[in-house]
Amino acid sequence: MTSKKKRLDPIVKMGLGILLGGFCLIAFGMYLSRPDRSIPPYSLGAQEGTLVALHLPSWTSDPEIESLIKRFGDVGRTTRDFAKMKIRPTTPQDSRGRYQTIQIIIFSNPSWAEPDTVQRYVAGSSGKEEQNEEAAFRNEFEAAVRAGYRVDDTGHAGWIGPWNRSQSKDRTLTMQWIFQEPWPQAEAGTMSSPE
């Protein structure tokens, strides 16, 4: 019996070593695979239509998140090619480009960025009896968002803080806007259009 125990100890140690080595390899891979070393490491959690959920380590500071939001803004302002940022095309059939509309939300807790969770959020409630439960889920989902970035026909914007998509007044003050910029042609179109 003691000989079995001696044989199991090296096997258990080897198994723990492989497990810990796997976690280190994943973390190191996330660090090395990021597009730019000046932004924090992040992973694509889920993508549902134009909504993209990312997650990053919980220890990521607000200034680091701000650098990531600014990088998304730089890409949006110049090329709108978010493929370099590990995001699949959100408008692949649009003749104007593959990323005409995009909504990126960033979580620290990876469970909120899971495909099933994001899909449930996008689908919304289906029946009257589920409306209260779904409303609570949507509020929790939006409150768990740590930052975000959006692009549409009018311009782009980035923020830190919970997603205030439902426009609830209690969360408006928690959103810190990094930038809100209209596209130059949108400004020109607005200025030249008759009233």
Res 104 pLDDT > 90: yes
Give the 3-state secondary structure of residue 158. Answer: strand
Question: Cα–Cα distance between 174 and 181 in angstroms, integer?
Answer: 20
What integer pLDDT is reported at residue 17 of this predicted model? 86
Beta bridge partners of 157: 150, 180
What integer pLDDT is reported at residue 150 of this predicted model? 94
Question: Cα–Cα distance between 142 and 47 in angstroms, integer?
Answer: 16
Cα angle 48, 54, 55 (rounded to 5 degrees) comes to 140
84-98 confidence digits (pLDDT tens): 888 999 988 888 889
Res 192 pLDDT > 60: no
Per-residue pLDDT averaged across 6-30, rounded? 79
More confident call, 103 vs 11: 103
Question: Cα–Cα distance between 158 and 139 in angstroms, integer?
Answer: 20
